[in-house]
Amino acid sequence: MSAQASTAGQPALTPNALTVLEKRYLKRDTSGKPLETPSDMFRRVAETIAEPDKKFDKKADVKKLADRFYEMIVSFDFLPNSPTLMNAGRELGQLSACFVLPVGDSIEEIFDAVKFTAMIHKSGGGTGFSFSRLRPANDLVKTTTGVSSGPISFMRVFDTATETIKQGGTRRGANMGILRVDHPNIMDFIMCKADQKLFNNFNISVGLTEKFMEAVEQDEEYDLLNPRDKTKMGSLNARKVFQRIVNQAWENGEPGIIFLDRLNRDNPTPHVGEIESTNPCGEQPLLPYESCNLGSINLGRFVSEGAIDWSRLKGVIHDSVHFLDNVIEANKYPLQQIHDMTHSNRKIGLGVMGWADMLILLGVPYNSDEAVKLGKKVMQFINDEGHAASRDLGQKRGSFPNFIGSTFDKKGALPQRNATVTTIAPTGTISMIANASSGVEPLFAISYVKNVMDGTKLVEVNPTFEQLAKERGFYSAELMEKIAEHGTVHDLDEVPADVRRVFVTAHDITPEDHIQMQAAFQYHTDNAVSKTVNFPNTATIEDVENVYMLAYKTGCKGVTIYRDGSRDEQVLSTTKKE
Ligand code: CDP
């Protein structure tokens, strides 16, 4: 696992990681043959991202910094998001994973957004949109005296464009579609993915307001508003709408929900604009035309002799913030508007992967109060040190240009280089490269099969478990097969009780445990936390409803659930279902 990664200048790559890098990350010739090794790639990234230091200090020792960045990446202490690994130092040069584009209420604006989406997807970025500004279906169109097709119909255009671009891109384009709960077409939006053939390039979330949530609690009606002029177009019972959302999520995992007022309460630059959408996986709220680059610290690498190595962690946090701030400089943006917005807020998203690995190495079960407390403490440390690093940079390089009038300015804060510093990304691919558990998720299974692009199937066995089984003398090929069948060890007597206690998987823990952990990390995260709450197939609609309410009550910014077996295709699955 991650703790075994080499620190001698060469990456310790699993066969799976090597396959992913060769297929999608390394420079290749026209016949598809790699033109660089993984360490060449990490060197290319480190050198490109160290270079901008010269802009701020002519005497900067860029070579020394590149060596430090290289060491941090090659050892898998830290990895930037995929587009930085793929594109840094190459012609495309687009380094961000997250974008939000505005969709205005005119044909010109809608199709501009479609074009911009295609440009972003081509470069490996993901796009989020709010469709809430679009007039509802059957509303009047003045210029043609016809009627509008409405937001869901226009979403199809984005979906089809994404499907087409996917064929030429390095990774599948992803979209987030958001509609406010007070939009007149909200019921159709909630149902728009009920047919599993539709909108496969979209994650959808309903944008909930505090007013709506209060109406749910009071079992009251709330108003539907025409976005064009805010006139009332009807009203609905809030509880019924909430239940429809929950029913649909139970049925096939979507829509998710996001709490719009919470995103805006934490908007550091309300004087620049209102937040209406997040990136595709929900962890990064952004203003229209903003982009953000993410990076994740691999927590499994920071356990030494059964304890957290706080001082080494602090050093890597500071270097990671420095790295991500430099990414903003080295980045080649697909549009001038995106360049300008990104440079004026300078948002970065430092997060974690390997949280479940860290807990295992510390001997703490994921579903324990101790784990929740520790999660809060670790994230507070990263957030505090991350902000300290951003202040240091602010003193040397100046605050982000929109600082005046920002919430930092209003609090009388010191210079701050970045409007946001922390975000918990899913780390879907980078955790695989680092052989770490993903984001703040529990282990999905002790052994599982992962489907990646092109239908390739990769078998993963948790390496810490394998190592431990060998050391403790309970390893056998038959047992490993049995575990792969089960996807869990909790009911296997062959595995010692203390090992079973710590090796809990996503399905061994309750949905409430998932939410408690999400809330613990959210507490000290500027942006949001990417997290999937897993339910067994037998979960009831009420179970899902309770979790949506719990997410609201515990201060989460949104929630995404998945009930096992509720969709035809699953990205992750245990071997049992193959
Ligand atoms: O691990 P990696 O850096 O590849 O990405 P991630 O942490 O799983 O996802 C971070 C963000 O990248 C997502 O929220 C999306 O904004 C974007 N993304 C995307 O656009 N398309 C994908 N296929 C995967 C991620």
Read off the DSSP letter of residue 25. Answer: I
Nearest CA, atom 18, ligand 1: 126
Tell me if 461 sits within 8 A of 484, measured CB to CB: yes
Contact 520, 379 (CB under 8 A): yes
Which ligand 1 atom minimizes the distance to the CA of 427?
Answer: 7
Q: Is 429 touching ligand 1 by the criterion CB < 6 Å?
A: yes
Cα separation, 59 vs 57, in Å, equals 5
Distance between CA atoms of 356 and 541, rounded to whole angstroms?
28
238, 221 contact by CB (below 8 A): yes
- Residue position matching structure tokens 């957004």: 113
Q: Residue whose CA is closest, atom 23 of ligand 1?
A: 172
Write the pLDDT tens digit of every residue in 74-84.
999 999 999 99
CA of 94 to the centre of ligand 1 (A): 14
**Tokens found for residue 66:** 């590149």
- Give one DSSP letter per residue of 505-570, joined into a string: BTTTS-HHHHHHHHHHHHHT-SS-B--EEEE-TT--HHHHHHHHHHHHHTT-SEEEEEETT-SS--
Per-residue pLDDT band for 8 (boundaries 50, 70, 90) equals low
The best mutation among 279, 286, 353, 531 to test binding of ligand 1, ranked by most ligand atoms within 8 Å of the C-beta, falls on 279
Helix, strand, coil content of the chain in percent (nearest 5): 45, 15, 40
How open is the CA angle 248-440-299, to the nearest 5 degrees? 165
**Range of weakest confidence among 139-148, 311-320, 334-343:** 139-148
Compute the average pLDDT of residues 425-450.
91
Whether 184 and 234 have beta carbons less than 8 Å apart is answered as yes
Nearest CA to ligand 1 atom 12: 97
Atom of ligand 1 nearest to the CA of 80: 3
Is the domain 98-278 a CATH 3.40.50.1820 member? no
- Contact (Cβ atoms closer than 8 angstroms) between residue 472 and residue 191: no
Give per-residue pLDDT as tens, 186-245. Answer: 999 999 999 999 999 999 999 999 999 999 999 999 999 999 999 999 999 999 999 999
- 281 ligand 1 Cβ < 6 A: yes
Angle at 231 between CA 203 and CA 245, to 5 degrees: 30
Query: What span, in angstroms and rounded, lies between the C-alpha atoms of 8 and 70?
Result: 11
Q: Ligand 1 centre from 145 Cα, in Å?
A: 42
* Ligand 1 mutation target, pool 20, 25, 81, 451, most atoms within 8 A of CB: 81
Residue 281 Cα: closest atom of ligand 1: 14
Lowest mean pLDDT among 215-219, 406-410, 565-569: 565-569
Q: What percentage of the chain has pLDDT greater than the value 90?
A: 81
CA of 174 to the centre of ligand 1 (A): 8
Q: What is the pLDDT of residue 169?
A: 63
Mean pLDDT of the chain: 93
Residue 171 is which amino acid?
R
427 lines ligand 1 (CB under 6 A): yes
The ranges assigned to domains in the chain are 98-278, 444-507+536-577
Q: Whose CA is nearest to atom 13 of ligand 1?
A: 281
In ligand 1, which atom is closest to the CA atom of 428?
8
Percent of the chain with pLDDT over 70: 94
**E-strand stretches of 386-435:** none
- Report which ligand 1 atom has the smallest distance to the Cα of 530: 14
Beta carbon of 82 within 6 Å of any ligand 1 atom: yes
The ipTM (two decimal places) reads 0.97
Judge if the beta carbon of residue 280 lies within 6 A of ligand 1.
Answer: yes
**286 touches 128 (CB < 8 A):** yes
Q: State both tokens at 9.
A: 């200048």
C-alpha–C-alpha distance, residues 441 and 443, integer Å? 6
State the pLDDT confidence band at 570, using cuts at 50, 70 and 90: low
Looking at residue 89, its pLDDT comes to 97
For the cut 90, the answer to whether the pLDDT of residue 493 exceeds it is yes
Instruction: For residue 279, indicate whether it is catalytic.
Output: yes
Residue whose CA lies nearest to ligand 1 atom number 24: 174
Distance from the CA of 429 to the center of ligand 1, in angstroms?
Answer: 8
Output the pLDDT for position 2: 43
Residue-level pLDDT at 32? 86
Picking from 423, 303, 427, 316, the residue whose alpha carbon sits closest to that of residue 72 is 316
Examine the residue annotation and report whether 281 is marked as an active-site residue of this protein.
yes
Answer yes or no: is the C-beta of 80 below 6 A from any ligand 1 atom: no
Name residue 142's amino acid: K
For the segment 56-112, what is each residue's pLDDT rounded down to a tens digit?
999 999 999 999 999 999 999 999 999 999 999 999 999 999 999 999 999 999 999
**453 — pLDDT class (breaks 50, 70, 90):** low
Q: Select which of 81, 175, 201, 279 is catalytic.
A: 279
